[in-house]
Amino acid sequence: MLYRLCRFLVTSLVEDADGVRIDRIETERVDIFLLKVAKEDRGRVLGRGGRTIGALRTALDAVASSIDREVVVEIMD
């Protein structure tokens, strides 16, 4: 569920939705999402001063806490 929400939110932000790649590492209580987007879309995902990625993390964290999980979102080069 968290993976699909993350994918939906990230692909909604970028222009090149086909260039989005999300690797997921799942542990007992934590989901780690490693985002890879096209170079042109990095700024869209990061946002001014990191506000967009911060909002993405907050939204995913809110959903994760409702199912007793934690989430980590990182943008990879």
Containing structural domain, residue 40:
2-75
Q: In total, how many domains does the chain have?
A: 1
Over 90: is that where the pLDDT of 77 sits? no
Q: Which amino acid is at 70?
A: E
* Phi/psi of residue 59, nearest 5 degrees: -65, -45
* Interatomic CA distance for residues 37 and 65, integer angstroms: 26
Per residue in 18-39, pLDDT tens?
A: 999 999 999 999 999 999 999 9
pTM of the model: 0.89
Confidence at 67, pLDDT banded by 50, 70, 90? very high
Mean pLDDT of 40-49: 93
3-state secondary structure the chain: CHHHHHHHHHHHHCCCHHHCEEEEEECCCEEEEEEECCHHHHHHHHCHHHHHHHHHHHHHHHHHHHCCCEEEEEECC
CATH value at residue 68: 3.30.300.20
